[in-house]
Amino acid sequence: MTGATETTGRASVSRAYPVNPRRWWALAATCVGLFMALLDVTIVNVALPTIGRDLNAQFSDLQWVINAYALALAVLLVSTGRIGDIFGRKRIFIAGLGLFSLGSLICALSSSVTIGGFSHIQVLIAARAFQGIGGSVMLPLSLAIISATFSGPLRGVAIGIYGGVTGLATAVGPVIGGILVEKVSWQSIFYLNVPIGVVGMLLALWAITESRDASAPRGIDVFGLVTLSVSLFCLVLALIQGNDPDKGWTSPYILTLFAVAAVALIVFIIGELRLKHPMVDPRLFGNASFTGAAIVAFALSAGLFSLFFFLTLYLQNYLGFSALDAGIRFLPLSGLVLVTAPLAGAFTHRLGAKPIMFAGMVMIVAAVLLMTRISAGDAQADWLVLLPAFILGGLGSGLVNPPIAEVAVGTVNRDRAGMASGVSAVCRQIGTAFGIAFLGALLTNRYNARIHDHVLALAVPGVPPQQALGILHGIVSGIQQAGTFAASTGFRNVPSQFAQFAQQPLFPQIQRIVQDAFIASLQDIFRVAAVILAVAALAVLALVKKADMRHASEDEPMSFGA
């Protein structure tokens, strides 16, 4: 026990806080859970083609291998964070590690077992949702536990390490996945989680000191849980499926999902404002700094992390790199996070979140704008064009992540750290879903428009205009049906189902148009992403204030116990 005397704006408070002698081991335990949860957002992507062949899965099934995890993760983040505040963060965090490890084991076994009348791929999808539930526990509670374990300058360093692990896990997934899929099997990406999860549970049991919200009643806000879950489920599902050609953004199905999400959110806010102990207090957003950090968390995911999907498409399909080679080329964007994140955590405590966060956002905006320098040319040369952007983006991301976390839990009393962390994590997940959906729709729209305008403008010597128009319409239709393949390869290697296009006399010109259209459309979404990030940078200047931070004085009650 160590004594501490703090001076607040109201009074001088003297109070003793226990110091956990195993706090750095506790940080390691929380980072294990954090890393596993975030890694599985990206590691599975490179394994999808192999999974599809092995389990004879359709493309829509493979989409749900990704979406089932993302949906469960986003919907339950806030709820599980608050449950940890109420019933004890340590025990709920360990339970989340156990659920995630069990889900991983079922994922690995899905190719050899069936449950009931479900197929192998359906078992895998269900297990991925189970993983998402475990991840939704670990993500918010990892930051809440760090907030409860550390104080003062050490807390800034710990959150800096947390931010570094966040960025690293997001980006190295393709590398680790590529190595395991190519050298071992796709099942190994899930088997790996099991022993790591067990070690993490034992480490957490030994090192983490229990903490909770002492003022909260020992009950669950069922109203808040149901209404918020319905709102987030419908919103994320609409964002995920909006680009589905069988549905579309203006279809009654998607519009209904958005409407239900909006109504449920309004009902949730009105209801929670009337409760004494809400699951999520909407008044959190009454703090300008918290709102600013939430905007940055959303924009960082929508404007930077969502680009991993499109950059992977560009590196693997267009430039022809293997999954492993592409993952390695992402390392500057991920590895440099570890350089600036600990520094950002330490300097945030000294200088405040605003200057660190703003500097990082400016660097990221510049990095995304540098990505517009890509062109349709030599693979190795084009990769080197991206290198300065990846370096700048990695350094900037390392600067931004720690102050986001610091502000999220620093503007509320420590008993509500799980709630605040959960809201921040939800902003990130919705940002990623929005970025992929919105930028993907923009990419498709701009690509199709360019194909139509340029291909139909071609002249066909010796062929009547109407007949030429019919031929070109047929080729355009075929290219657009080819979708991602056509956009990302420009028909460099034409498979049998597209061989008819290669026989057309205009094929070389069309091939070039397809390549140019894809590159130009990528440049368009990079510019839009930069605008999203720039708006968030301005929000930092307008909203984030050092005076809003409450933890500098440690003036809120904190309960520790078994």
Assess whether pLDDT exceeds 50 at residue 554: no
What is the Cα–Cα distance from 230 to 499, expressed in whole angstroms?
A: 47
Q: What is the DSSP letter of 301?
A: I
pLDDT tens-digit readout, 176-188:
887 888 888 888 9
Nearest to 6 by CA among 212, 151, 210: 151
> For the ranges 175-184, 245-254, 444-453, which has the lowest average pLDDT?
444-453
Average pLDDT, integer, range 265-272: 88
Domain boundaries, the chain: 18-215, 222-274, 289-551
374-390: burial string, b at 16+ Cβ within 10 Å, e else? beeeeeeebbeebeebb
Residue 499, Cβ neighbours under 10 Å: how many?
9
Confidence of residue 495 (pLDDT cuts 50, 70, 90): very low
What is the Cα–Cα distance from 210 to 494, expressed in whole angstroms?
A: 59
Helix extents (H) in 184-192: 188-191
pLDDT for 471: 56
pLDDT tens-digit readout, 292-322:
999 999 999 889 988 877 887 787 777 777 7
Domain 289-551 has CATH 1.20.1250.20: yes
The 3-state secondary structure of 80-113 reads HHHHHHHHCHHHHHHHHHHHHHHHHHHHHHCCCC
Nearest to 299 by CA among 309, 311, 291: 291
Confidence of residue 280 (pLDDT cuts 50, 70, 90): confident
Average pLDDT, integer, range 437-463: 71
pLDDT for 342: 75
pLDDT for 527: 95
Nearest to 425 by CA among 148, 165, 136: 136
Q: What is the DSSP letter of 459?
A: -
Using only C-alpha atoms, what is the Rg of the chain?
Answer: 25
Q: What is the DSSP letter of 251?
A: S
Assess whether pLDDT exceeds 80 at residue 88: yes
Confidence of residue 14 (pLDDT cuts 50, 70, 90): very low
Strands (E), 168-247: 211-212
pLDDT for 541: 92
Q: Do 18-215 and 289-551 come out as alike in CATH topology? A: yes
415, 559 Cβ separation under 8 angstroms: yes
Residue 371 is encoded by which pair of tokens?
């990505």
Give the number of residues written for the chain. 562
> For the ranges 50-59, 104-113, 264-273, 372-381, which has the lowest average pLDDT?
372-381
78 against 464, higher pLDDT: 78
Residue 49 is encoded by which pair of tokens?
């083609």
Assess whether pLDDT exceeds 60 at residue 9: no
Confidence of residue 332 (pLDDT cuts 50, 70, 90): confident
What is the Cα–Cα distance from 98 to 87, expressed in whole angstroms?
A: 17
pLDDT above 70 coverage of the chain, percent = 78
pLDDT for 429: 75
The overall average pLDDT reported for the chain is: 77
pLDDT for 378: 56
Q: Best-predicted range by mean pLDDT among 95-104, 177-186, 204-213, 489-498? A: 95-104
Instruction: Specify whether the backbone of 281 is left (phi greater than 0), alpha (psi in -120 to 50) or beta.
Output: beta
Residue 110 is encoded by which pair of tokens?
């899905």
Residue 337 is encoded by which pair of tokens?
């996070």
1, 18 Cβ separation under 8 angstroms: yes
pTM of the model: 0.74
pLDDT for 170: 67
Residue 105 CB partners (closer than 8 Å, separation 6+): 190, 191, 194
Query: CA-CA distances (angstroms) from residue 187 to 63, 139, 196, 496?
Result: 18, 24, 15, 30
460 against 280, higher pLDDT: 280
pLDDT for 468: 55
Confidence of residue 1 (pLDDT cuts 50, 70, 90): very low
Question: What's the burial of 505, exposed, middle or buried (CB within 10 Å: 0-12/13-18/19+)?
Answer: exposed
Query: CA-CA distances (angstroms) from residue 434 to 243, 440, 555?
Result: 11, 9, 37
Residue 370 CB partners (closer than 8 Å, separation 6+): 386, 388, 389, 392
The SS3 assignment for 254 reads: helix
Is the four-CA dihedral 438, 439, 443, 444 of positive or negative sign? negative
What is the Cα–Cα distance from 444 to 484, expressed in whole angstroms?
A: 9
> For the ranges 188-192, 324-328, 392-396, 450-454, which has the lowest average pLDDT?
450-454
Average pLDDT, integer, range 462-472: 57
Homologous superfamily of domain range 18-215: MFS general substrate transporter like domains (1.20.1250.20)
Residue 193 is encoded by which pair of tokens?
């989680």
Q: What is the DSSP letter of 7?
A: E
Residue 431, Cβ neighbours under 10 Å: how many?
25
Confidence of residue 555 (pLDDT cuts 50, 70, 90): very low
Helix and strand totals (H; E) in the chain: 22, 4
pLDDT for 484: 42
